Chains A and B, each alone.
Chain A
Amino acid sequence: MSGIDIKNVSKAFGTTQVLDDVSLQIAPNEFIAFLGPSGCGKTTLLRMIAGLETVDAGEIHIGDRRVDDLPPGQRGVALVFQNYALYPHMSVADNMAFGLKNIGVAKDEIRRRVEDAARILELDGLLARKPGELSGGQKQRVAIGRAIVKNPDLFLFDEPLSNLDAALRMRTRLELAQLRRRLKATMILVTHDQVEAMTLADRIVVMKDRKVQQVGSPMEIYARPANVFVAGFVGSPSMNILKATIQDEGGFAVAIVAGTKIATRVPMAGLPASDHWRLGLRPECVKVSNDGHPATVEFVERLGERTLVYAKLSDGTPVTAEDAGNSRVAMGDAIHLRIDGARAHLFSGTGDGYHADEAA
């Protein structure tokens, strides 16, 4: 299996710049997720790797081959499209065999590979059917099967689960994870769904505004977001971002929010001079309690195993907190919030993130 090296790649559609000097290394057998909001350039980057978009500047290498000037069929990649893109007039078996026939693979070998893929994906009984006779989940599996039979160096998935309903999405996500373990292949997944990215990928590439914002393991991205965008985008519900001033107490930053002090474990030593600090708190770090910061409940979301409480601090700052699943908190209640400052993050005026030392 091959790794990928993307060097200083840029792309514009007319006068609209969609990717700006993007560089990225992907190790062999790694599962990478491109995560970002619509229009961030993640799908364009995937399509450039596949050869479906030209590269304006920069280079793309798959293994030891430079591929950015090769046609799509010669790059050794397989792409699973968001809308499956199955050939409607061909049977499931012909859909999977089409690419192999085009490169002159022997009939017996084609049949063997198609049957193998069908067995892995539980499509055995469906090989003679046309795509129009399949459910959404089955179509998705055929699209994956079409990729598998080619034994590509690199699998590309363009939002493959977005057309499935919630239950099927969860099941297919699990199947993708199992498939990945079985195939031991390099894979890139494009998604705007952070749960998909967090659960499937070895590393996540968070993108926004034509640029890579952060590359890291799911927990790294979650626990140590590089900037305020990543902090707000990854995690559901979003991280609380509160305006703060900071002061030094024993070498660590203490944030002052709405007049109250929150002691963090972020070392003062690494912090730049900035007038506009923001404190980042995941909702699980803000608990409803008998004492602590006073707040008023605006809205309550009961999720079963936990309750999300949307409240306002005394100065009107909105904050999302957590409570137990059987919480009795109701809209309009006056409550207190206990804040776990040890897991808090700080963001400077430029948006850069600062975190507690990993050992802390």
Chain B
Amino acid sequence: MSHASHKSLRNTLVLVTLIVLGFIMLIPLIWTVLLSLKANGELMRSTANAFHGPYTLENYIDILNNSSVFRWLMNSVIVSGLTTLGVLVLSSLAGYGFARLDFPGRDKLFLFVLFGLAIPEQAVIITRHQLFTALHLHNSYPGLILPGLAAPFGVFLMTQYFRAIPKELDEAALLDNASRFQVFWKVLLPLTLPAQATLGIFTFLASWNEYWWPLISATRSEMFTLTVGLAASQINFAQTSGLGYLMTQAVFAATPILVVYIIFQKYIVKAVSGAAAR
């Protein structure tokens, strides 16, 4: 067998394996989508007929008319969006400060921030709960957003990224009459976009999937995020009359995150492979 055909066979085998694995990973998703398109009454009798018709949009229409899912979706968008924005702003400013400004205690303070990476959420959850109770922050957007803004990884990532940018660019900008803030805003920040994208995607996904803290902080249904709301629905409906409806909610919840993945998949691959961190 020639070298070329040997290589071609190997490529084909790899491709077939990837297709099979990809299909296996897609099965739960396909299963969920198909179940969401079935009538609830039919699913009560059996879920085995999910792979053939008749299909209906009844559950989607119900969601549009009745459900709290819209409210939860909006809460998730607000909480994840503002958390991501906050983390990006704070991490960028802190990263610039640690990388470029000379102030007393800078290195000790940076070390102090890094210690945050080693503290698990479980260790602080009770005191945080007490603090937020005292401050009347539960069942509010600030209550859901504020804990996510403490992002030592973000500060670390941005500090390292700013440090990797040549200082001559700051100096060239200073000679070009730029103020310190203009140097940060117009020259350095645009160069950190790959790191911002990485940090933003990770923060958004983590915040979107966050379950524990919203479960503790949001006790009123109108302040539920999608994760908490769906879990609450599962308790009410699962394996009873509303399986199709539940699956529709799941599809509804997963769609925004899928869109984020599809739009930013180039950056996500880079982020996961570490390429964006240079």
Name A's B-contacting residues (CB within 8 A). 50-52, 71-74, 77-79, 81, 83, 85-89, 98-99, 102-103, 146, 150
Contacts and interface: CB of A to CB of B under 8 A. Distances in A.
Interface stretch (B88-96, B126-134, B169-177): B169-177
B187 interface: yes
A87 B164 CA distance: 14
A99 B171 contact: no
Interface of B: 166, 168-169, 171-178, 182, 186-187, 190-191
Contacts of B186: 98
Contacts of A74: 177
A87 B174 CA distance: 12
Contact of B175 (A88, A89, A99): A99
A13 B245 CA distance: 70
Nearest to B172: A85
A83 B168 contact: yes
Contacts of A86: 172
Report which residue of B168, B175, B182 has the largest number of chain A beta carbons within 10 angstroms of its beta carbon. B175
A349 B182 CA distance: 56
A50 B176 CA distance: 11
Contact of B171 (A72, A78, A89, A98): A72
A79 B191 contact: no
B168 A81 contact: yes
Given A52-B171, A72-B171, A89-B190, A102 B176 contact: yes
B177 A87 contact: no
Contacts of B182: 102
Nearest to B189: A89
Given A83-B168, A98-B173, 20 more contacts: A51-B174, A52-B175, A72-B171, A72-B174, A72-B175, A73-B177, A73-B178, A74-B177, A79-B172, A83-B166, A87-B173, A88-B191, A89-B191, A98-B176, A98-B186, A99-B175, A99-B177, A99-B178, A102-B176, A102-B178
B173 to A, nearest CB: 7
A85 B177 contact: no
Contacts of A103: 177
Given A85-B168, A85-B169, A87-B169, A73 B176 contact: yes
A85 B167 CA distance: 9
Nearest to B171: A52
Given A73-B176, A99-B176, A99-B177, A87 B171 contact: no
Contacts of A51: 174-175
B197 to A, nearest CB: 14
Nearest to B177: A73
A71 B176 CA distance: 11
A46 to B, nearest CB: 12
B171 to A, nearest CB: 5
A85 B172 CA distance: 7
Contacts of B171: 50, 52, 72, 79, 81, 85
